[in-house]
Amino acid sequence: MPDRDHDIVLFGATGFTGALTAQYLAEHADAGTRWALAGRSPSKLEAVRAGLGPGHADLPLLQADIGDAASMRHLAESGRVVISTVGPYINYGEPLVAACAAAGTDYVDLTGEPEFVDQMWLRYHEQAEASGARLVHSCGFDSIPYDLGVLFTVAQLPEGVPISIEGFVRVGGTFSGGTYHSAVHIMGRLRQGMRVARERRQRESRASERRVRGMAGRPHHDRQAGGWVVPFPTIDPQTVLRSARALDRYGPDFTYSHYLVTGRLGTTVALAAGAGAGVALAQLPPTRSLLLKLKNPGEGPSPEQRARSSFRVLFRAQAPGRQLTSEVSGGDPGYGETSKMLAQAALCLAHDQLPARSGQLTPAVAMGQPLIDRLRREGIRFEVLEQ
């Protein structure tokens, strides 16, 4: 990559998660990292910079707008890695992905939107392969704990054997307006998402003697997981399975099941009913608009709420003659730990020795063990519990 003005550019720094990511970079970026803030409003960027303290008074600010192709091109060409926190990505994400794929610039985001990820693969994967760009989506709570947690678990098991893993997610915390809006858009675009996913499957080459499958599972009580569990069809199991297809280390026959731990049967029933109602209401523009008005983008939990939040992902693995239980855990999943994961992913791409791969990649494929090492140093726990 030609020399760039910045190692990392953070686009969307004036949003809720963007500001947290800026604060994290200000306090934890590798020594000598050249980074900058980017966004549409110079005055808001200046306010974010001022909040970082006097030591960052000279931090560069870049004005950039997704509606201005020239500014997107300049943004992509100015950095070695670009972070985007501007969602919903299906509405606002493509111009920056396109600019990074063209410029050979590495890109990371927080998206949990399957349709967006599939659409970006269809439109920019081949261009990014040619330019050398690494387009790495879902570098926050979607999907770092699961993707890297499964990679960590697989590394503890014998090579060249069938492997089956179940993941159980337990989350305590709240969410921001931006996350809520992304979820409503996902529910409202299920048909479009299925169509794009089908097109990707038709184009994506999967000729291999290896077999990789997702197992939907069923609601059931699981004592080890901590109560009732339900299948959790988010983007996360998709990310895990894409990593498994790309990496031979996952064995000749790999299966993965993904569950949310709800605890009690009544909670399980209420969650199912609420999800069904949300999907139904999101299908029609009038009711979707009403849902979107319930929470505004930019709103988020208070520092006190975040301090009380945590996550835990339990992995139960089986291989011939071997059983293993592992866990990935940390603090506030949606914001404190997400900003940490996102920033460390960008720092990993900017500074670490990584495999020579390009195109649209998962976190495990693009960064793998070096990113696990970074996150462990920053307090996110990857542990073997039983073997």
Q: What is the mean pLDDT of each run of 10 residues along the chain (387 residues)?
A: 87 93 97 97 96 96 96 97 94 97 98 95 98 97 96 97 97 61 65 90 83 92 92 93 97 96 69 59 66 61 70 96 95 86 98 97 98 97 91
Q: How far apart are CA 317 and CA 387, in angstroms?
A: 9
Task: Give the residue range(s) of CATH 3.30.360 domains in the chain.
Answer: 144-332+381-386
Whole-number pLDDT of residue 183: 65
SS3 of residue 83 by DSSP: strand
In words, the CATH class of domain 6-140+337-372 is: alpha beta
Whole-number pLDDT of residue 172: 73
Length reported for the chain: 387
Whole-number pLDDT of residue 87: 86
Task: Give the residue range(s) of CATH 3.40.50.720 domains in the chain.
Answer: 6-140+337-372
CB 177 within 8 A of CB 339: no
Whole-number pLDDT of residue 216: 87
Contacts of 221 (CB under 8 A, 6+ apart): 227, 228, 229, 265
Ramachandran class of 100: left when φ > 0, alpha when ψ lies in -120 to 50, beta otherwise: alpha
Whole-number pLDDT of residue 306: 66
pTM (two decimals): 0.90
Can you name the CATH fold of 144-332+381-386? Dihydrodipicolinate Reductase; domain 2 (3.30.360)
SS3 of residue 338 by DSSP: helix
Query: How many C-beta atoms lie closer than 10 Å to residue 26's C-beta?
Result: 18
Q: How far apart are CA 310 and CA 72, in angstroms?
A: 36
Query: How many C-beta atoms lie closer than 10 Å to residue 294's C-beta?
Result: 10
Whole-number pLDDT of residue 309: 77
Whole-number pLDDT of residue 299: 59
Cis peptide before 114 (omega within 30 of 0): no
β-bridge mates for residue 310, sequence order:
172
Contacts of 277 (CB under 8 A, 6+ apart): none
Query: Do β-strands 6-11 and 79-84 pair in parallel, antiparallel, or remain unpaired?
Result: parallel
Distance from the first to the final alpha carbon of the chain: 43
